[in-house]
Amino acid sequence: MQGVNHFVNLAFRDAIQMHANGKRTWVTDLETALRRLPLFPVILDITELGSVAGIDSLIDKVQKSCAQFLHQSLNTERLPLLKPDIRPMVSTSFQTVLCLRKYLRTVRVPAHRRALLSLLCADHSLGVEQLRRRRYPDKSRIPRECRICRYCGAPTETEIHALFRCEGPEESNMITDRRLKFMERVEQIAIGAVGADLVARCTSDTDESTIIAIHFFLEHDDLAPVFAKYVYDVLKTFPISL
Ligand SMILES: [Zn+2]
C-alpha cells in the first residue's frame, strides 16, 4: 500500500469514509457487486479495506464464492462429463475449480479442441442436447428418455452413447470401425494393463466408469489429442439434422 500521505492512499481512504457517511463511491459499487454474486453473496465489511490482510481476506472470500457457484453449476445432469464428484475438485477451492485444464494445451488442433470442448460443455449436435432445446407441439419438454438415438433407437443419444455404445447406421460400420481404431490407439499408447483397463472402462455399461476413462485421456499428454480427434470424427457423424 502507498504511504499514508500519498495521494492514492488519501483518495482510497476518502472513498471508504464517504461510503461510511452514506455517500455513493466506488466502495458502494463494490459492496453492491459483492452482494450480487450469484448463490453465494459476499457481505462487505469495510474495515477489511483498511489493511492488506483485510483486502487479501476479501479476495479469498470472493474466490471461494465463485468456486462454490461454479462447482454447483457443474453438478447438473446436463453436464455429465464435467460432474465434479468424480474429478479432483474441492467446492471452495478456486484453484481446483477454475484452472487451466491440461487438454487446452495438449490438444493443439483448434478444430479438435473445439469439438472436445463442445462435447464436455454439452454444446454439441447430439440428441440429448438438441432435443432438450426443442419442445413438442403442445410446448411441453421432450423427456430425456425420449431423445432417442437417430441410428440405433437407444433411449438417449448421449455423449457416452455416441462415443462408446452406438452401433451406428445399419448400412455402415463407420462408427464402430472408427471406435475400434481409437481403442487400438489407446492400447498402443497406454501399454499393458493401463490400456486394457481404459478399453474395459470405455466398453463397460457403467457411465461413471467410462467418464473416469475420459478424464484419464484428458490428463494424458498423448491420449488427449487422440481422444479429441476421435470426438471430432464422432460428432461429425452426428450432425444437427434432427
Ligand atoms: Zn445409437
Mind listing the pLDDT tens digit for each residue in 154-193?
Answer: 999 999 999 999 999 888 899 999 999 999 999 999 988 9
Which of 97, 132, 160 is a domain's end point?
Answer: 97
- The CA-to-CA distance between both ends of the chain, in Å, stands at 59
CA–centroid distance, 38 to ligand 1, in Å, is 38
Same domain, 126 and 229: yes
Exposed (0-12), middle (13-18) or buried (19+): which is 83, by Cβ within 10 Å? middle
| 141: three-class secondary structure by DSSP | strand
Which of 50, 72, 97 is a domain's end point?
Answer: 97
CA–centroid distance, 10 to ligand 1, in Å, is 67
Which of 97, 119, 139 is a domain's end point?
Answer: 97
CA–centroid distance, 238 to ligand 1, in Å, is 10
Same domain, 45 and 70: yes
Same domain, 168 and 75: no
> Residue 61 and residue 43: Cα distance in Å, rounded?
9
| 135: three-class secondary structure by DSSP | strand
CB 94 within 8 A of CB 69: no
> Residue 120 and residue 114: Cα distance in Å, rounded?
10
- Domain with 143 in it: 103-236
CA–centroid distance, 151 to ligand 1, in Å, is 5
Query: What pLDDT does residue 212 have?
Result: 94
Same domain, 36 and 119: no
Please tell me the total count of domains within the chain.
2
Check whether 242 has a pLDDT greater than 70: no
pLDDT band at 97 (very low <50, low <70, confident <90, very high): confident
CA–centroid distance, 17 to ligand 1, in Å, is 65
Query: What pLDDT does residue 205 have?
Result: 87
CA–centroid distance, 164 to ligand 1, in Å, is 9
Same domain, 120 and 205: yes
Same domain, 27 and 115: no
CA–centroid distance, 32 to ligand 1, in Å, is 49
Beta bridge pairs of residue 141? 135
> Residue 189 and residue 230: Cα distance in Å, rounded?
15
Query: What pLDDT does residue 123 have?
Result: 95
| 165: three-class secondary structure by DSSP | helix
Same domain, 143 and 211: yes
Does the residue 213 lie in any domain? yes
Same domain, 137 and 189: yes
CA–centroid distance, 146 to ligand 1, in Å, is 13
CB 176 within 8 A of CB 184: no
CB 144 within 8 A of CB 129: no
pTM of the model: 0.84
> Residue 51 and residue 121: Cα distance in Å, rounded?
40
Check whether 88 has a pLDDT greater than 90: no
Same domain, 118 and 219: yes
Proportion of the chain above pLDDT 90, given as a percent: 81
Does the residue 241 lie in any domain? no
